[in-house]
């Protein structure tokens, strides 16, 4: 499953019916990716200062299976699917924590594939991911 990040659904995350607004899953995924990087010793601000580069989302594909609702506790995952010289592909899921249901395994709500590219922070032009950074990110 990869890295796991807990998130609770608040009013600000939902529509008038108390269901998570579909675009907010992108925010949940962003938070989990950021914390995944942090858990590997990669702080994005420090990375930008030290290398002059940064990650930007270049592609996002999501599939919605079931809705999350107000007050739900979610587990949002992030796992490296593939890496290239200038981009990473991250698999992500939003799962409903099992304690909230009668089942023992998390229930898949939304899944996505997010591609992040490495760019020069000043010009925003694509660049190669520093090899030392790739070593930190790949098992």
Alpha helix positions (H), 15-126: 24-39, 44-51
CA distance 29 to 111: 9
CB atoms within 10 A of CB 41: 10
Question: For residue 78, what are its two tokens?
Answer: 């992030």
Contact 34, 78 (CB under 8 A): no
* Catalytic (active site) residue 13: no
Q: Which residues pair with 114 in a beta bridge?
A: 60, 90
Q: What are phi and psi of 60, to 5 degrees?
A: -140, 125
**Which residue of the set 15, 59, 71, 120 is catalytic?**
15
| Catalytic annotation, residues | 15
């Amino acid at each position: 499953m990869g890295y796991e990040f807990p998130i609770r659904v608040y009013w600000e995350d939902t529509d008038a019916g108390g269901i998570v607004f579909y675009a907010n899953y992108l925010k949940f995924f962003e938070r989990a990716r950021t914390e995944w990087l942090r858990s590997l010793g990669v702080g994005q601000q420090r990375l930008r200062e030290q290398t002059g580069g940064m990650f930007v989302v270049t592609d996002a594909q999501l599939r919605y299976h079931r809705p999350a609702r107000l007050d739900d506790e979610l587990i949002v995952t992030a796992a490296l699917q593939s890496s290239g010289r200038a981009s990473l592909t991250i698999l992500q899921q939003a799962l409903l924590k099992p304690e909230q249901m009668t089942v023992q395994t998390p229930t898949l709500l939304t899944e996505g594939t997010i591609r992040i590219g490495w760019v020069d922070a000043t010009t925003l032009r694509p660049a190669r991911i520093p090899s030392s950074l790739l070593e930190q990110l790949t098992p």
